[in-house]
Chains A and B, each alone.
Chain A
Amino acid sequence: MNYHPEVLHSYEHRPKTLILKLSITLGVILLFFWSIPSFDGPLISESGLDIVTRMFQGLINPTWDKIFSLKTFHVPYLMYETVMVAFLGTLIGTVVATPLSFLGSRNITNSVIAFLVTVLVVLIRTMPFFVIGLIYIRVVGPGVFAGVLTIGFTSTGMITKLYTESVEDMDKGILEALDSTGATAVQKLRVGIVPQLFANFVSHSLYRFDINVRNAIILGLISAGRLGFELQAAIGNFRYRDAGAYLWGIILVVMIIEFASASLRKRLIYG
């Protein structure tokens, strides 16, 4: 078949991407082999396999007494405690973040203060939260109180960031309208700002609450919470049926809070 000269011309001048694609592929493959840690022998030992089997058995047939008992330190209580720790932590985060977010909004304060708040937020957010947890344990000793403080501290970063975004998106036309009526600062806050931001703020806090429930569980692994701690202890002491019960507790509490937080936020945003 004869092709039109212009067709041959554009074929010759087509963007050539083969080499780029090949080098990206090669790069990813090399990256993969670089990243896999070296290990001797099989990935999973016979005893490891045995533990997996027992954990699955524990998950299918957990210690039912612990799941269906309202006694302190049994599963429902631990779930409740986890939610409470997350609630208090979120509350602390919200209370601290509210003034910070106004300070961090470029449309309210000057850019130097806003920049300082941004730096603070980034610092808090990159701080590994186990480090904060261990520092608080040094201050108040191990236990859920250290967990509350840790969650409060780490939540502040993200909540401030989300709040600041809301404040910066705020419609300032209303404030100008209020200015022209001679409203005082408090009145402006009450009529012009709170109604606009309230739903957004609550929604952001609920979102963080969901994350905090998971964090409250994890903090148990460094003894600043109980659910994670009990799970770790149960596996360590070969009590696999107990471990199954705690795992179900984790799954349930995370699922319930995720669902509740998501549906509440949906209602807040869509009325």
Chain B
Amino acid sequence: MIKFRNVGKRYPNGTVALKNVTLDIDQGEFVAIIGLSGAGKSTLIRLVNKMIEPTSGELVVNDTRVDEKLNGFPLRRFRRHIGMVFQSFNLVPRTTVLKNVLGAKIADKGFLASILGYYSKKDQLDALEALHKVGILDKAFIRADQLSGGQMQRVALARTLAQDPSIILADEPVASLDPVTADMIMTDFRRINEEYKITIIANMHHVDVALKFVRRVVGIRDGEIVFDGPSEAVTEDILKRIYNRELTEDDIMFKKVEVV
């Protein structure tokens, strides 16, 4: 359960990224956040695991108040069960896929085991199982920088699954993939959401991807929520309100396939 109550974020340079956001997300929901770049999508999801600190309002994630008092060890323990997936995958190059997934386990380790990079048999089996869940077990011992973009995003997904998360935050997970791969990755996301009841919050620039895969859509414009409802309820007018203009080709992913 994630509860935003009048949450705002103002950056030190004066930019107001979010104002008065009130939003409830239940466990197991799949939510897409759409809007122009710069509308505050990234800020919104980074607030959830306190990669960014809110400046006003109240944010409660799984009964933990996310505020300036959440720091140090409690903050790290809180982040343990919130996964995060990025647009550029953020895998560690020059090391194997398995080591990348095992990286999600390092937070549980003591100092010596961290330094030596020691992982137990259970850790390794969990990591391999996570790779199996996203269907790339056969790539486990290959270097991560030798994979294609779609495979990399699957490894990133496996990395968050190895955290055994209750929430996955996805920051533009398919924006740097081609349409076919994007479709596959989004199918993975939906399957994970349904099978393991993991809450997924995904920032999406591409409207059609969001509408195709996600049940609940939140539209933000200039740091404010201007729409919140099921994807079937999204109309041309609502999109115009969110984007403050007509949709362009850049906002659509799958249309390009027809052109090709």
Residues of A near any B CB (own CB < 8 A):
1, 3-4, 6-8, 10-11, 14-15
- Tell which of A1, A7, A15 touches B128, judged by Cβ atoms closer than 8 Å: A7
User: When A14-B141, A15-B141 are in contact, do A6 and B132 touch as well, CB less than 8 Å?
Assistant: yes
- Measured between beta carbons, the chain A residues less than 8 angstroms from B98 are 14
What size tier do the contact residues of chain B reach? Answer: 10 to 19
Q: CA separation between A11 and B137, bound complex, in Å? A: 10
Interface on chain B toward A: helix, strand, loop, or mixed SS? helix
- CB pair A14–B125 under 8 Å, yes or no, is no
- CB pair A7–B141 under 8 Å, yes or no, is no
Q: CA separation between A14 and B138, bound complex, in Å? A: 11
Report the minimum CB–CB distance from B144 to chain A (whole Å).
15
- CB pair A11–B125 under 8 Å, yes or no, is yes
Q: CA separation between A3 and B162, bound complex, in Å? A: 13
Q: CA separation between A7 and B162, bound complex, in Å? A: 14
Is there a chain A Cβ closer than 8 Å to B129's Cβ?
yes
A and B contact pairs by CB, cutoff 8 A, 29 listed: A1-B126, A1-B129, A3-B125, A3-B128, A3-B129, A4-B129, A4-B132, A6-B132, A6-B137, A7-B125, A7-B128, A7-B129, A7-B132, A7-B137, A8-B125, A10-B128, A10-B137, A10-B138, A10-B140, A10-B141, A11-B121, A11-B124, A11-B125, A11-B128, A14-B98, A14-B124, A14-B140, A14-B141, A15-B141
- Measured between beta carbons, the chain A residues less than 8 angstroms from B128 are 3, 7, 10-11
Per-residue interface assignment for chain B, residues 19 to 63, with 1 indicating a CB less than 8 Å from any chain A CB and 0 otherwise: 000000000000000000000000000000000000000000000
- Measured between beta carbons, the chain B residues less than 8 angstroms from A8 are 125
Known: A1-B129, A3-B129, A14-B141. 5 other contacts (CB 8 A): A3-B125, A4-B129, A6-B137, A10-B141, A11-B128
Per-residue interface assignment for chain B, residues 104 to 142, with 1 indicating a CB less than 8 Å from any chain A CB and 0 otherwise: 000000000000000001001110110010000110110
Q: CA separation between A10 and B132, bound complex, in Å? A: 10
Q: CA separation between A15 and B124, bound complex, in Å? A: 12
- Measured between beta carbons, the chain A residues less than 8 angstroms from B141 are 10, 14-15
Report the minimum CB–CB distance from A150 to chain B (whole Å).
43
Q: Of all chain B residues, which has the CB nearest A14?
A: B141
Report the minimum CB–CB distance from B64 to chain A (whole Å).
26
Q: Of all chain A residues, which has the CB nearest B138?
A: A10
